[in-house]
Amino acid sequence: MAARQAPAPQDALWLDRFHAGERDVIEGCYRDHFRVVESAVGQVLRGADKETVIHEVFLQLLSRAELRRGFSGGGFSAWLATVARHQAIDFWRRHRREQSLEQMAPDTAPAEPVEPIERFERTVEARLMIDRFRRDGLPPKWAGVFETRFVGGLDQRSAAAQLGISRTTLAYQEMQVRRLLKRFLFGRGKG
């Protein structure tokens, strides 16, 4: 079945009806330009997120007069593709850090409530383990990186500035410390 052609967007009557949000005009936009929106969103998102944003674009066209007024003539497909791409990027930015519980590593999943004595014992154990790693597994040349990044929790820029080294040098040393820490915690054969 061939897609019907929408009236030329430059047509003043069509444009007035589009701006007014007339259902048959918006329906025509959906039918005639679905693939344009799908392609634009697909450049950024996949799967259910892609489908969600595609339908959000058309819902917004139907419900937001200010969005429809953003088109004043010219290439309707290009305008709609730009709107769709921007919505996909905004969606990605809002949701990029979300993870389902299934995606989370086992050690980052929410823990069972811990009694105060257990919490104290875990804290003492962790401190002893850190001290043992400093003494037995960490070369002195990387102690500053370990202290600022792993113990102090500074971001890379701040840690590099505090240590007086470049960020790339810090990143390399951090990678080496991670490798040593992994080997220290999980045995010689791994890491």
Report the CATH number that the domain containing residue 69 is assigned in CATH: 1.10.1740.10
- The count of structural domains within the chain is 2
pLDDT of residue 102: 44
Which of 68, 95, 122 terminates a domain? The answer is: 95
Whether 190 maps to a domain, the answer reads yes
**Percent of the residues in the chain that have a pLDDT greater than 70, as a whole number:** 79
Residue 5: per-residue pLDDT:
47
Q: What's the CATH number where 166 sits?
A: 1.10.10
Domain assignment of residue 103, yes or no: no
Residues 186 and 138 in one domain: yes
**In angstroms, rounded to a whole number, what is the distance separating the alpha carbons of residues 26 and 15?**
11
Residues 88, 26 within the same domain: yes
Backbone angles phi and psi of 165, in degrees to 5: -125, 165
Average pLDDT across the chain, whole number: 81
Give the domain range for residue 181.
132-191
